[in-house]
Chain A
Amino acid sequence: MNDSLLSIENLIVEFKTELGTVRALNKVSFDVPRNSITAVVGESGSGKSVTSNAIMKLLPDSAQISGKIILRPEAREPIAISSLEERDPTLQELRGGLISMVFQEPMTALSPVHRIGDQVAEAVLCHQKVSPETAWAEAAEMLKQVGLTEVDKKMRMYPFEFSGGMRQRVIIAMALICNPQLLICDEPTTALDVTIQAEILVLIKSLQRKLRNSVLFITHDLGVVAQIADRVVVMYDGQVMEIGSVRQVLKSPQHPYTLHLMSSMPGIKHGGALQSSSGNWAEGAPIGSGTILADADGGRQVREFSQ
């Protein structure tokens, strides 16, 4: 019996274009366990963001979707997200309520013409029947939790008066204020400086440990993965290459693509020339129909590959 918070099973997403059908996701299956951080890592075009948008049902109408996405919230029946209709009231509850999202660009994710306090409180008003005063007070509390100081003054300010790191804290507060069971972070630190990135990573991790929710963290940076994730899903070309605990995947990577990704990292450890290609991985190499080989307990999964 699967007790993961979220299960994705054989998810296929295709887009019809002028040049024919593009398969963005090809039979993607993985679980997001409860009370943990799962990282999805891969390059642009690997399908990371399509996966997260599919979970939120944010894909455009042109997308043809098959497969299952199931959310098993605590204290209620499982929800088959993949079969929800666009007008289903459950969807409203899902977006921003049970699942919420932190986006990459802290500059564009906030409205430039509304005060910070109003934007954070709006999320409360959308999902809970409370007075605006209560919502404002909850927003203030949440903003304190994400590490903002002088909250009363800052809530009356506008996003342009905030630095990138402060804006990202506000967005995290907005995402967490309705106490979601799943928080999706789509490259939340990619646009930030290294020092601010470190602060935000520490913040996301400590909030997860405190709130005991689940985080799906999308990134292309293996350094970030190592620091934040409990479990790792490696994706390439719309397919899952390898799944395991962060130690399994980063300490003993099995799939040649994972090795390739690691060798591409500008390292602190290994000196000498950069290796942009590890011996047995060619860019655009066909992956073939390799099946996923799983350990007995399913904790470690690696796609079959030819040596």
Chain B
Amino acid sequence: MSQLLSVTDLCKSFAGQPVVDSVSFDVNESTTLGIVGESGSGKTTLVRSILRAIDPDSGTVRYNSREGWQNLNELTAKALLPLRREIQMIFQDPFASLNPRMTVQAILEEPLIIHGLGDKSWRKQRVAEMLDKVQLPPSSASRFPHAFSGGQRQRVGIARALILEPRLVVCDESVSALDVSVQAQILDLLASLQVELGLTYLFVAHDLRVVREFCDQVLVMYEGQVVEQGAVEQIFNNPSHDYTRLLLSAIPSPDPDERLEPLDRGMLNLGA
């Protein structure tokens, strides 16, 4: 298995406050890395810095592109453009992330137009293929986002991210806004697309139950730093950091006989 992404000492601060504090990790191709932590732990800032949606202060983000290894952090915006095809994002809010005045056809076609791919009839065919892949009916293309439920909108968001045939897909809380049963359907879809297309996911989530089901490796963040990283089973069965233990103790079990007893923050050594 080859490495796809290697992040070293990535830092980003806002107003002198470090939000991402020397974060380092590697990701192998066709695997899923879960990034967990509470609000304010720096998860979103981390993935946005990797995407160069915001510019990190220091550190390197080495990405194994189709043309070989590149440091995303050093590239100019213009040099980055072809790589943007390979790295795409699925957002959290299926209501806010689709333009209400564009049809699904226009929404899905836009990335192709931006990257100058194909002619009109080819694009139309690609959109139809993508709709099929995310299990939406072909008639969806002519409709507007308001005609869809949350789960269906998230399928549109997935189709938009995947239409450029990316290799690395960043899912920032992509299933957090969905109901359990819709959430399970979307996770099923993401998992089958990963197998089919060989995708690599960076999966940001605060729901540890989802992370356990869906991810191979996990990165636990607290106050901008990585406090623990490892294989998913290792983190869940044998957490070594107090903060990971706190997170795990806070998961409400569906068994009424298991009492919810969150660890006391004050008693823990959370110094990151």
Give A residues with C-beta under 8 Å from B.
43-44, 163-164, 193-199, 201-202, 220-227, 229, 246-247, 250-251, 260-262, 264-269, 273-276, 283
Contact status of A197 and B187, CB under 8 A, knowing A164-B39, A266-B212: no
Contact status A261-B180, CB under 8 Å: yes
- Is B16 interfacial (CB-CB < 8 Å)? no
Chain B stretch 179-216: residues in CB contact (< 8 A) with chain A = 179-185, 187-188, 191, 206-210, 212-214
Residues of chain B contacted by A194 (CB below 8 angstroms):
38, 206-208, 247, 250-251
Q: Closest chain A residue to B188 by CB distance?
A: A276
Residues of chain A contacted by B256 (CB below 8 angstroms):
226-227, 229, 246-247, 250-251
Residues of chain B contacted by A275 (CB below 8 angstroms):
184
Residues of chain A contacted by B100 (CB below 8 angstroms):
none
Contact status B260-A227, CB under 8 Å: yes
Residues of chain A contacted by B246 (CB below 8 angstroms):
195
- Is B142 interfacial (CB-CB < 8 Å)? no
Contact status of A268 and B179, CB under 8 A, knowing A199-B262, A227-B260, A274-B184: no
- Kindly identify which residue among A44, A163, A195, A250 contacts B179, using a CB–CB cutoff of 8 Å: A44
| 13 A-B interface contacts by CB (under 8 A) | A194-B208, A194-B251, A195-B262, A201-B260, A223-B252, A226-B255, A226-B256, A227-B252, A227-B260, A264-B181, A273-B191, A276-B185, A276-B188
Residues of chain B contacted by A164 (CB below 8 angstroms):
39
B131-156 interface bits toward A, Cβ cutoff 8 Å, 1 = contact, 0 = none: 00000000000000000011000000
Contact status B179-A43, CB under 8 Å: yes
Closest 4 pairs between A and B when the two form their complex, measured CB to CB: A223-B252, A198-B250, A198-B262, A276-B184
- Kindly identify which residue among A199, A224, A266, A267 contacts B187, using a CB–CB cutoff of 8 Å: A266
- Is B249 interfacial (CB-CB < 8 Å)? yes
| Interchain CA distance A49-B177 in the complex, whole Å | 16
Residues of chain B contacted by A250 (CB below 8 angstroms):
254-256
Residue of B179, B187, B247 with most chain A CB atoms under a 10 A cut-off: B179
Contact status B188-A273, CB under 8 Å: yes
Contact status A226-B253, CB under 8 Å: yes
Residues of chain B contacted by A251 (CB below 8 angstroms):
255-256
Extra inter-chain contacts (10) besides given A44-B149, A222-B180, A276-B188, CB under 8 Å: A43-B180, A194-B38, A197-B250, A198-B260, A201-B252, A227-B260, A264-B183, A266-B212, A274-B188, A276-B184
Chain B stretch 225-272: residues in CB contact (< 8 A) with chain A = 236, 246-247, 249-260, 262, 265
- Kindly identify which residue among A202, A225, A268 contacts B262, using a CB–CB cutoff of 8 Å: A202
Contact status of A220 and B179, CB under 8 A, knowing A194-B250, A250-B255, A264-B184: yes
Residues of chain A contacted by B191 (CB below 8 angstroms):
273-274
Interface residues on B, range: 35 or more
Residues of chain A contacted by B209 (CB below 8 angstroms):
223, 265-268
Shortest distance in angstroms between A169's beta carbon and chain B's nearest beta carbon? 15
Shortest distance in angstroms between B134's beta carbon and chain A's nearest beta carbon? 14
Contact status of A195 and B38, CB under 8 A, knowing A250-B256, A267-B209: yes
Contact status A223-B253, CB under 8 Å: yes
Shortest distance in angstroms between B81's beta carbon and chain A's nearest beta carbon? 36
Q: Closest chain A residue to B233 by CB distance?
A: A271
Contact status of A227 and B253, CB under 8 A, knowing A195-B246, A199-B262, A268-B209: yes
Shortest distance in angstroms between B203's beta carbon and chain A's nearest beta carbon? 12
Contact status B180-A221, CB under 8 Å: yes
| Interchain CA distance A197-B262 in the complex, whole Å | 10
Contact status B39-A266, CB under 8 Å: no
Residue of A195, A247, A251, A273 with most chain B CB atoms under a 10 A cut-off: A195
Chain B stretch 1-47: residues in CB contact (< 8 A) with chain A = 38-39
- Kindly identify which residue among A196, A197, A222 contacts B254, using a CB–CB cutoff of 8 Å: A222
| Interchain CA distance A43-B185 in the complex, whole Å | 13
Contact status of A266 and B262, CB under 8 A, knowing A227-B252, A250-B254: no
| Interchain CA distance A246-B251 in the complex, whole Å | 18
Contact status B251-A223, CB under 8 Å: yes
Shortest distance in angstroms between B227's beta carbon and chain A's nearest beta carbon? 14
| Interchain CA distance A246-B209 in the complex, whole Å | 21
Q: Closest chain A residue to B178 by CB distance?
A: A44
Shortest distance in angstroms between A100's beta carbon and chain B's nearest beta carbon? 24
Contact status B180-A274, CB under 8 Å: no
Contact status A223-B249, CB under 8 Å: no
Residues of chain A contacted by B252 (CB below 8 angstroms):
197-198, 201, 221, 223-224, 226-227
Residues of chain B contacted by A261 (CB below 8 angstroms):
180-181
| Interchain CA distance A49-B213 in the complex, whole Å | 29
| Interchain CA distance A273-B191 in the complex, whole Å | 9
| Interchain CA distance A51-B254 in the complex, whole Å | 24
| Interchain CA distance A69-B229 in the complex, whole Å | 52
Residues of chain A contacted by B206 (CB below 8 angstroms):
193-194
| Interchain CA distance A226-B102 in the complex, whole Å | 42
| Interchain CA distance A163-B41 in the complex, whole Å | 13
Contact status B150-A44, CB under 8 Å: yes
Shortest distance in angstroms between A19's beta carbon and chain B's nearest beta carbon? 12
Shortest distance in angstroms between A280's beta carbon and chain B's nearest beta carbon? 14
Contact status A202-B179, CB under 8 Å: no
| Interchain CA distance A170-B24 in the complex, whole Å | 38
Residues of chain B contacted by A226 (CB below 8 angstroms):
252-256, 258
